Amino acid sequence: HVAAMTAAMAMEQALRDAFEGSGWRVELKEKFTLQPDERFNVMVTLVKVDEDGLETSAAMSRLRAIVSALASKSLSKNQLSAYAGYLKNHMSLLCTSPSFWTEVIAGRQLYGKDIVTGYSAKCDALTAQKVQNIISSLDKSGKVEYITTKE
> For residue 117, how many other CB atoms are within 10 A of its CB?
10
Q: For residue range 87-102, what is the model confidence (pLDDT) as tens digits?
A: 999 999 998 999 988 8
Q: For residue range 60-83, what is the model confidence (pLDDT) as tens digits?
A: 999 999 999 999 999 999 999 999
122 to 5, 88, 127: CA distances (angstroms): 12, 9, 10
Is residue 133 very low, low, confident or very high in pLDDT (cuts 50, 70, 90)? very high
Q: How many Å apart are CA 117 and CA 112, to the nearest integer?
A: 13
Could you give the 3-state DSSP secondary structure of residue 49?
A: coil
